[in-house]
Amino acid sequence: MRHRILVAFLLALIAGPACAGGSLPSVLVTIKPIHSLVAAVMEGAGTPALLIGGAASSHSYALKPSDARNIARAGIVFWVGPDLETFLTTPLANLAPDAKLIALGHAKGVRRLAARPAGLWTAPPAPVPDGRTNPHVWLDPDNAIAMTRAIAATLSQADPAHAPRYTANAAREIARIAALDRTLAAKLAPVRTRPYIVFHDAYPYFESHYGLNAIAAVTVEPDRPAGPRRIALLRDALKAGKASCIFREPQFSPAVIRTLARGTAVRVGVLDPLGADISPGPDLYLALMTALADSIVQCLAPRNP
């Protein structure tokens, strides 16, 4: 595998950085929700490449030779930042030393929240004073708007000929996000107080923005299994009726969720922070946020008597 990646890297260096739309350097985006925002801003001027597609998780992704080629060719790389795409830090330094790296998780206006431990929580998500940041910033619509502005500014600077288009596209995308935000707030209002448990703490920005009542996460990282003591404590909470729904994620095995729900009245829902089953493109972000709200409402809505 190392040999194949090295060969891909050398070929990419020989080929040189690709260009899209003339003066615009090749644009690479790491994950689907961010790619959607970039694609919306670039619409009509170029098409960004997507690094992690399908149902792959950014928490456990392994680079392929084709990924190495895409990284080496990139002139601009949009990513959330090293808190999320930890695996990319060294490849970016080695394969794309001259690329412009835009960590959108740290863009101006992006609100960041502290990472929480797994298990039962006693407090809502808090702003980051110091320590580790929860990296799932795109799930707050206000953050998505701030990132869209940063994307448009970056692209306009790199490609002044298309700057009016980037500015207009960004304004249109921001308006679409704001309109959807109002719709989702009204949709989620009836279930705001109903408690639920998530597979891992990927949703504090969504919860905080809409005032939802998540009370626990099964694991701190998807690839780190929960221990027997935590499983027992969560099962006790579910048996006591402290949560009406527990959410799994499509990228990971549902076995632990089944174990927790077995013998209880809790419903099992699905939340996907990345849009695994949604086609990449300008509309993915809106579809992703809508799907999250719909899943939460469906799982938390009171049962008919």
Instruction: Give percent of the chain above pLDDT 90.
Output: 65
Distance CA 298, CA 167 (A): 37
Q: CA angle at residue 106 from 114 to 136, to 5 degrees?
A: 50
Checking if the pLDDT of 13 tops 60, the result is no
pLDDT at 304: 66
pLDDT digit string (tens) for 37-94? 999 999 999 999 999 886 666 666 778 888 899 999 999 999 999 989 988 989 999 9
Contacts of 65 (CB under 8 A, 6+ apart): 4, 5, 7, 8
Checking if the pLDDT of 131 tops 80, the result is no
Neighbours of 225 (CB within 10 A): 14
Buried b or exposed e, range 84-107, using 16+ CB within 10 angstroms? bbebbeebbeebbeebeebbbbeb
Q: What does the domain layout of the chain look like in residue ranges?
A: 2-183, 192-300
Phi, psi of 85 (to 5 degrees): -90, 60
Per-residue confidence at 302, pLDDT binned at 50, 70, 90?
A: confident
- Residue with the two structure tokens 């990971």: 252
pLDDT at 254: 82
Distance CA 133, CA 116 (A): 9
CATH superfamily, with its number, for domain 2-183: Nitrogenase molybdenum iron protein domain (3.40.50.1980)
The sign of the CA dihedral 231, 195, 288, 82 is negative
Same fold, 2-183 and 192-300: yes
5 or 39: whose pLDDT is higher? 39
Buried b or exposed e, range 169-183, using 16+ CB within 10 angstroms? bbeebbebbeebbee
SS3 content of the chain, % helix, strand, coil (to 5): 45, 15, 40
If you ran DSSP here, which 8-state letter would residue 197 be given?
E
At the top level of CATH, the class of 192-300 is: alpha beta
Nearest to 199 by CA among 178, 223, 173, 166: 223
Per-residue confidence at 102, pLDDT binned at 50, 70, 90?
A: very high
Structural contact between residues 246 and 196, judged by C-beta atoms closer than 8 angstroms: yes
pLDDT at 55: 62
Average pLDDT over residues 99-112: 95
Structural contact between residues 41 and 173, judged by C-beta atoms closer than 8 angstroms: yes
* Cα 297 versus chain centre, distance: 20
pLDDT at 17: 41
